[in-house]
Amino acid sequence: MGMNVGSSSGSGEPEVMMDVNTTPLIDVMLVLLVMLIITIPIQLHTINLDMPPPSPNPPTEEPVVHEVMIDFDGTIYWDAAALANIDAVNAKMQEIGALPISGQPEIHIKPNKLVDYGVVAAVMASAQRNNVKKMGMVGNEQYVK
């Protein structure tokens, strides 16, 4: 008294299953979906920059530019004249920061690629502390290989 499950063609061998097992495919798809959901917020982070509004009128005169060069050994040059220490940089930045923003000259900081970043950070922090608004980094082409 046995029970016959499934169809048989009269022989004792079972038939071959012809369906594709989709369970592993669904598992991989779900893992990829979870990874996508986790990584999307990382790509959407933004940094708020205080940019000036666009102006249709170009400036009528060239701005005054002071070039601050930082040599590989940490020596700071203000318009090609060496400064004694960071206090001299602070004094120069205080003079510029005391001017109204529209009358401030531009400060172009040009560090050597071998200089310790602490010196560059000290110059930028001095400009920020003394309310210097027109500052930029120049000479970035030296870092391109």
Question: Fold for domain 65-138?
Answer: Nucleotidyltransferase; domain 5 (3.30.420)
pLDDT (tens digit, 9 = 90+) per residue, 38-96?
887 666 666 677 777 888 888 788 889 999 999 999 999 999 999 989 999 999 999 99
- Angle CA 57–58–59, to nearest 5: 115
User: For position 12, what pLDDT does the model report?
Assistant: 73
The whole-angstrom separation of Cα 126 and Cα 68 is 12
Burial pattern 49-82, b for ≥16 Cβ within 10 A else e, equals: eeeeeeeeeeeeeeeeebebbbeeeeebebeeee
DSSP tally for the chain: helices H, then strands E: 3, 5
